[in-house]
Every structure is written in C-alpha cells, then in structure tokens.
Structure 1
Amino acid sequence: MPESISADRAPDRASTRSTARKALANTAEVVYAVGSFGISFTMLRNWPDPHDYWRDTDTLAYALVAAVYLPLALRRRAPVTVFAATTACVLTYFTLAYYHVVVVCGLGLALYTVAALRPRRTSLRCAAVALPVLLWGTRLAEPGIGALSVGFVTTMTAVCWVAGDGSRRLAERGERLARLTLQLRHEQEERARQAVTEERLRMARELHDVVAHHLSVVSVQTGLARYVFTTDPDTARTALDTIADSSQEAMADMRRMLLVLRNGDPEEPASPAPTPGLGRLGELAQRVGTAGVTVDVTTSGTPYPLPAGLDLCAYRVVQEALTNVIKHAPTANRATVRVDYRPDTLGITVADDGRPTGRPAPVGGHGLIGMRERATIYGGTVTAGPAPRGGFEVRLTLPVTGAA
C-alpha cells in the first residue's frame, strides 16, 4: 500500500515542480522588466545635459520608457507583438529626441526574444526593422562619437540576433533529443512486451505438447490396464510400465522447461534431460506404439545435423501429430513418419490409416495452431488435412539452408 500511494503521488509532485518552475520564470520576467524600467527611469532623471543635446525630460518621456520595458514581462508569451510595440515606442522616443541610450537595451532584448522563439525568417525581418530604428537614434549621439554609436548599435543588433538564433537552435536540438529519447523508450518497452508475449506463447506450446502427448499415452494405457487387470496381468503390468515411463519423461521435460525459465537461456538450458530432437523419433514411436498405434519411421536423403531450435521444432510437430492420431483417430492402427532431408529444406510427413468416423477433423485445435506457430518461427509451413489414400496427414516443411 505505501508503494502504491508513493507511485500515485509521483505525478502530483512532478506537476507541482513544473508549476513552481513556471511561476518562478514568470516572476523573474516581471522583476526584470520592472527593474529595467527603474534603472532607465533613474538614468533618464539624473543624466546631465549641459549642452542641450536632447529634449527636456517630461512625463511623456517617462511614459515611453515604461512602454518600452514593462511589456517585456510578456515577451516569451507574445514575442513578435512585444517586439512591434517596443519598436514603435523606441521609434517615437528617438523621433522626439529624448535621451536615447536608456531605451536601446529594451529593443535589443525584444529582438533577442524573437530570434530565440520564432523561425529564422521572422527574426531576420525583425532585425531588419530594429537596425534602422537604432541607427535613427544615433543622430542624438554627442558630437565626436557618432561613428562609434553607429558601430555599437550595428554590432548589438547582430549579437542579439545571433545569440537568440543560437538559443533557438539549441532548444530545437534539445527537443529533438527528448523526442528521440521518448521514442527509444517506447520502442524498448514495446520490444520488452513483445519478448514477454513470444516467451509466453513458446512456453504455452511446450506445455501443450508435453502434457497433451504424455497424458494421451497415460490415458490410453490406463484404460487398457483397467480393462485387462484381472484377465491378463502381464498386459496390465506392461501398460503400467508404459505409464511410469511416460510420466517420468513428462516430469523430465517439465523440469527442463523450469530450468529454462530460471536460467533465462532457451537455447542452452542447463537441464539433466537431453533436448528432444529427430534423433529420438524411435523412442517416440515406441511410446506411441504402446498406446495401440504402430509407428513406422522412414528417412530419405542424407541426414545432417540441425540447429537445436529447429530440431526441437521438427520433433514437437511430429509428437503433436502422433498425439492427434491417438486422440482423434480411434480407428487408426498404423501411422507413418517420413523424414526427407533435402539440401535446402527438411520435409516431414505424418499420416495415419484411420477411417472416417463422421466426426469433424481437428483442423483448428490448439495442437495444430501450435504446430503452425512453431513452423512460422523458423520460416516453415504446416499443412494438415485428409490424406489422398484415407486417414489424416500432416506435412511440415522447414528451410534449412546452410544446415548441411
């Protein structure tokens, strides 16, 4: 419960911190605007003018200075609008010939904000407007420093624009990096979910194949033992031995899967039981034979070693196909397993000699679904349906280019 409460409160704390940062930034903007106005107000009031270079300071001058600096508190919300208003006030201030220096910084900051928050085309247009206005103010410079004033305002305009444009590009890079980081995190989460889903499906197939096959054999042998328990003790004893062997093999397979889960390495499980493969088809045929279905295994072509995963896939498909013979073909007495080793493909056919019983063929059960899923993982295909000469047939084709 405490962990849940802490997790629920985490977004609230993040939202609170974000709100606090915004409030602090807004307060800083207001303080800057008011402070700049106060400094300019003091300079305008106390700056000496013994030679009458500028117009006498009056209420309109103070009002124009306030109109230049106070709107800067909103410069990040409406940078172009604030720039336009600031430019108009500065132009009016220069035209009326008030002491010019005190408003230059306000126009420079407005230009920097536009360059930092708006596209380059917009900021270049604003710079093209700001420079003539500032040059217009240099006519009010004291005699002897006119050229220096022109150089200063030109350099200041360029510096404000370059700094603002660089800040914008840096912010855009940060946003792109943040988007890429978020996209990467989502892709990692999606891959993790996909891996979990695939592992769950793989284990479901393994459990189905192991449990369905061995329980089918146990069920048939149990029925046989019960039927002949008093009349044919030897047959009953043989059936019980088969049940014991099948149960032990099922436990070994289950133990192997549990070790795979614990070790986290499906390719090299640290299991005392060997991983099933086509080399154990003889054992599988013998076990199915004790359930009443004789299995003939034939091989064509030159056998070659297969990758462990592909070998297990082929074995499980054969095992499930024979399990279906036991479960769904009560009239079948014989089944054949044909393994065809070709240079680039492995072909396996499992067919039985069962006669039609009037029941629908098992074309959509979990077993056939599992077979197709296994084959798809390795680029193979599984087809199932009635055999041309009667019975039911399952065909597996797996690409094995390079396995030989």
Structure 2
Amino acid sequence: MTEPASADPTGSIVDPGTLLTVSEHRMIVGLLSWLASLNRADQAHPRVRRWGLPALLVVFALPSLAKAAGGSGPGVPIVLALAIGFIVPLLWRERRPLPVFAVIAAVSVADIALGVMAGSNAARLVALYNVARLGTPAQLGFALAVGLPEAVATGLVVSADGPTSYLTQVPAMVTVMVVVTVAVTGLGLASRMARAYIAALEDRAVRLETERDQRARLAVAGERARIAREMHDILGHTLSVMVGLADGAAGLAETSPRRGADTLRIIAGSGRGALAELRRLLAVIRDDGEKPDDTPLAPQPGLADLDALLERVRGAGRTVTLHTEGDLGDLTPGVQLAVYRIVQEALTNTLKYAAPETAVTVALISDADVVHLTVEDTGPSAADPEHGGGRGLVGMRERAALYAGQITAGPNAQGGWTVRARLTPTAPAHSENRPA
C-alpha cells in the first residue's frame, strides 16, 4: 500500500502549500490567517467573546418582542421565554458545545411551531459552528441530523410569509437555509483545522528551539573537553620538565650549590606557571566518557607555529599578512595556544565563507598585560559565519573566557568579516567570566 502524497518520511510537518496551486494556496492561507486572527482576538478578550454574541442576539429578538407587544403573535411572555431559551445557553457554547446545541435545537422547535422566529435560527447556527469546531465527529453528525431538518422547516416558515409566489419562494428559501447551515459547519471544521495546524507549528517551533539550545550546549561541552585535553598536554609537558630539573638539582646540591639554586628557581617559576594553568583548567568541564590515549605528552601549537598556519592558508589561494607588536615571547603556553586556535578558527571561517580572492590581515599586539588579536578579511562573504553552525565562534569565546577575555565578530566596511579578541593572561579565570 503506497503512502499518500503528503506523507513525509522524516516525520516533519509537510507544508500544505506545496500540494496546491498558487490561487488555492493564497485562498487557504488567507482563510487560516483570518481564523488565526479571530482566535487571537478571542483569547485577548475572553469576556467580549463570551458575552458579545449573546448580546447581539438580543438585538435580533427585539423585533419579535415589539410585534408581540403590539398584540400580534403568542404574547410577550412566550416570546421572551423563547429568546431566553436560545440566548442564555450560548454563554456555555465552548465548554459544552453539544448540550448547548441540543437545548437551542429544542427551543427552536417551539419557535418554529409558533412562527415567532425570534432569532433562534442564528443561535442554532452559532451552536452548530461550535460543535463543528470543538465537538467530536459523532457529535457533529448528530448536530447536522437535527440542524438540517430544522433549517428546512425554518425555510418553509419564512417563505410562507413572503410576498412572492409560494412555488418560487419555498425552494429558494429552503436552499438558502440548507446552504448556510452547511457553510457554517464547514467554517467550524476549517477553524478546527486552523487551530490544529497552528498548534503543530507552535509545537515544532518549540522543538526546534529546544534542539538548537541542546546543540549549543553540546558544542560548548565538546569545546571545553577539547580545551581540557590540550591544557592537560601543556601541564604534562611542564611537569615533566620540572621533574627532570628537580633530578638535576638534586645532583648539583652538593657539587655546585649555586647552579642547583638556579635550577630550583627555574622549577619554582615553572610550578607557578603550572598552577596558573591548573586554576584555569578547573573551570573547564572534561568529557569523563572519553578514555585517555597513550600518545606521548607534547606542547600544543603556539605563536611559533603561526607562520606554518598562515602558509597553509596562503597555499589555498588567500593573501595573508601577519603584523605583531610588543613582547610576545613571555606569553605562557596556554595563552599562545588560545591565540593560535582563535587565529586558526577565524582563518577556517575565511576559507569556508569568503571568496577566493580575499585578503586577510592578522594583527597580534601585546600591550602591558593585555593581548589584542584581530583577524580581518576583505570578503566578499558568501554567507554569515555566525549562522554556519556556531561551533567555531563558541570555541573562540570559550578560549577567550579562559583568560578573562572576550570575542567580537561581525561584518566590516570592506564587505568581509572581522574577528577581534582581547585576552588578559595575568587575570584569574573565574567562573563568572565564562559564557553561560
């Protein structure tokens, strides 16, 4: 058995506009929009929704009351009782659509039999609309089974008092009443479909928002885990050096005390640097599910590796210029790694989104206790890097946050993209500096 044409194997909502012609699409979208606007207005003014329509039907009953007061018809008490019978139940038309329809239909029988016509037909159509909109299919079938005969009877009563020929008036009036009844039923069903479709779209929007937040959290967690592994390598290398120096200092303690003291000072400096890296490492969440491998500990890329990185980008056809200022040699391995990775990610975005003829400028300035980094390309950009998944920018922000820094990224006046980073190597890495 083949699936219907509108089935979607991915389980996502199928846009009904893809199955319709342009004119049909516009008509249905217009109807759904109109029904949605009515629903929003109803939700915004619940008291107007509940009391407004019964108040309007009171106006319809006034001519019949005036006629009864003039001595025509069954009398004012009966007309008033009939009007109350089909107006008051409408206050509960949304909570109990079928019982309200049944009461109004019963009152309509008496109204039609007496020939009063005090607005019961309009009340019956309103009740039928709510059954179609809120009731079950069985309830709607019962309402139509009662409503259509009453519509025919109403047409007969109205046409009997008409000024034209009975033979031409009766079919026309009965047809009008039946068509109006069917049209109101269809409108109620369309309102039900509109509500279901809008609810499905809202549910899908919530699910997409949740999935986007989950992807962002996973990206942050994954990037923190990668930073933690890299910091582990740096600390392992530093501690290995310290162990070797300590062994040498132990041997020099007796033969060359001065050289031993110098070696101990080097160990102390290395230890202080390692402690600073450990403080930042505490703010990074490690992926406990990943087993450590047996690869030897080695320093991660630093500023000395920038030239090789830029050469690879030049090999891809881009023109890259590096400009440095200040004393960069005293930067710790962790800061150098953060700078290297930010430059690497920014250049990766350039390779992904910028045109082949773009030119890139990398500026690295060490000013007192602050490191300024700028990576700027001339574009033109084929897409917005911020909407390409977001993982690269998340990683750059995480690395900058390790050193109390920040990242800004956006289009520039040349039609390209600019990434600016500001790092403070000497500032302690507090948890509040990390992005949420």
Indicate the TM-score class for this superposition, using the shorter chain for normalisation: 0.5 to 0.7
Whether 1:44 and 2:64 are equivalent positions in the alignment is yes
CA RMSD of aligned residues (A): 4.0
Which amino acid is 1:41 matched to? A
8 Å CA contact 1:68, 1:86 repeated in 2: yes
- Find the aligned partners of 1:23 and 1:183 in 2 and give their Cα distance: 25
Distance 1:264 1:67, change over 3 A: farther
Matching residue within 186, 199, 219 for 2:243: 219
Q: Which residue of 2 aligns with 1:396?
A: none
Shift of 1:262: 5.0
Instruction: State the match for 2:150 in structure 1.
Output: 133
Q: Give yes or no for the alignment of 1:90 onto 2:108.
A: yes
CA contact (8 A) 1:260 1:266 kept: no
What's the CA shift for 1:23?
7.6
User: Cα offset for 1:242?
Assistant: 9.7
- AA aligned opposite 2:111: Y
| Residue identity opposite 1:157 in structure 2 | T
Q: What is residue 265 of structure 1 aligned with on the other side?
A: 345
Aligned with residue 229 of structure 2, among 205, 209, 226: 205
CA distance in 1, matches of 2:344, 2:95: 54
Residue pair 1:61, 1:98 contacting (<8 A) in 2 also: no
Q: Which runs of 5+ in 2 are unaligned?
A: 1-40, 161-165, 275-298, 301-330, 350-361, 365-436
Residue identity matched to 1:117: L
Counterpart residue identity of residue 178, structure 2: T
Give the aligned length: 249
In the superposition, the TM-score normalised over structure 2's length comes to: 0.49
Residues 113-142 of structure 1: per-residue CA shift (max 9 Å, x gap): 111223445324322221112212333234
Aligned mates of 2:333, 2:139 — CA distance in 1: 71
The SS at the match of 1:85 is helix
Counterpart AA for 1:179: D
Report the CA distance shift for 1:261/1:202 in structure 2 as closer, same or farther (over 3 A). same
Q: Distance in 2 between the 1:138 and 1:21 partners?
A: 32
Tell me the distance in 2 between the aligned counterparts of 1:58 and 1:68: 16
Q: Is the 8 A contact 1:33 1:70 kept in 2?
A: yes
Match of 2:90 in 1: 72
- In 2, the alpha carbon distance for the partners of 1:212 and 1:87 equals 86
> CA contact under 8 A between 2:65 and 2:76: conserved in structure 1?
no
Runs of at least 4 residues off by over 3 Å: 20-23, 46-50, 119-122, 232-253, 260-264, 266-272
SS at match of 2:45: helix
Q: Which amino acid aligns with 2:65?
A: R
Q: Over alpha carbons, which structure has the higher Rg?
A: 1
Contact 2:60 2:119 in 1 (8 A): yes
Q: Does 1:34 align with 2:55?
A: yes
* Aligned equivalent of 2:199: 175
Alpha-carbon separation, structure 2, partners of 1:150 and 1:206: 84
- How much has 1:173 moved relative to structure 2? 0.4
Aligned CA distance change for structure 1 residues 267 and 256 (closer, same or farther; 3 Å):
farther
The whole-number CA distance in structure 2 between the counterparts of 1:28 and 1:245 is: 75
Report if the CA contact (8 A) 2:65-2:80 is conserved. Answer: no
Distance 1:257 1:267, change over 3 A: farther
- Deviation readout 1:154-182 (Å, 9 max, x if unpaired): 01111101111111101110000000000
- Percent of residue pairs identical: 21
